[in-house]
Amino acid sequence: MIRDEHHPPCGSDDDAPAIQAALDAAHGNGGGTVVIPPGRWLVGGPLRVPDNVTLRGVTITASILRRTGGDGPMVEVSAPAGDAPAEGWAVECLTLDGAGSGATCGIEVCGAARYGIIRRVWIRNVAHDGLRCSGGTLEHLCVEGLTLERCGRTGASLLSDDGSAGVFLSEVSVRDFGLRRGTGPAYAGVRLGMRCIISQLHIEPVPPGRVGLLFGAGSDHASVSGLYVGTRGGAPCIVADGVAGVSMSTPAVRYLEPA
């Protein structure tokens, strides 16, 4: 249960140690919320959100975490090894700016948990994926009001182990993805490998050699409503090879002029 608020002292050349100390203190107290004040705060390495803790800004545009160096994710959510899954976590009301550093992704989720919440978050300027689920049984993932901009590979890559109940995506926008050189399924606006319900997904532009929305193994019986895709140079919009039972309500596809 989220009970207490922690306000880390920010304003140094590297605010990551103070923020991480507040996250760990919240976890040690049985759960809590770490509030990032308004401003642009510099972080020199990944932040790990422990079980039963929320990392929250004041608003999506007021509280900005800007990566200054190092590789790995900007925010990592990983459950400790064990038989029982973690209770859950949340990341809310923040901008995560990779700022051209070595940050490989905005938020990386790995390990088993009962729930995860990402709400009103803007992720931009990361080398690989904006949001990445890279393994572990995640019973429920709710993503609402997420903007992914200038991601080197994929806006959102949502893969999970068997047993995950799935993901709900609502009001998600992907802009300018696939900026790095390369080919294959890693270069998609949204790549799905788990069951999902999608409402209001906007992907634009889809550049040549990329895919807008990719349904992969494990994403059978997905439901999509309110999909808008802008594609350029004949780029494919929606790919669901070998995936059964995808329900899609009148997707809108706009063909853009080549850049």
Q: Count other C-beta atoms under 10 Å from residue 209's C-beta.
A: 15
Reported as a pLDDT band with limits 50, 70 and 90, residue 36 is very high
Provide the number of structural domains found in the chain. 1
- pTM assigned to the model: 0.92
DSSP per-residue codes, 165-215:
--EEEEEEEEEEE--SS--STTSEEEEEES-EEEEEEEEEEE-TT-EEEEE
Residue 80 is given by DSSP the state P
Instruction: Read off the pLDDT band of 161 (50, 70, 90).
Output: low
- Per the structure, the complete domain to which residue 15 belongs is given by 4-256
155 and 180 Cβ atoms separated by less than 8 Å: no
The residue that leads in pLDDT, 112 or 141, is 141
* Digit-coded pLDDT (tens) for 201-240: 999 999 988 999 999 888 888 899 999 999 988 788 999 8
Supply the CATH number for residue 28's domain.
Answer: 2.160.20
The candidate with the shortest Cα–Cα distance to 157, out of 127, 183, 188, is 188
Whether 194 shows a pLDDT value over 90: the answer reads: no
- pLDDT computed for residue 5 by the predictor: 61
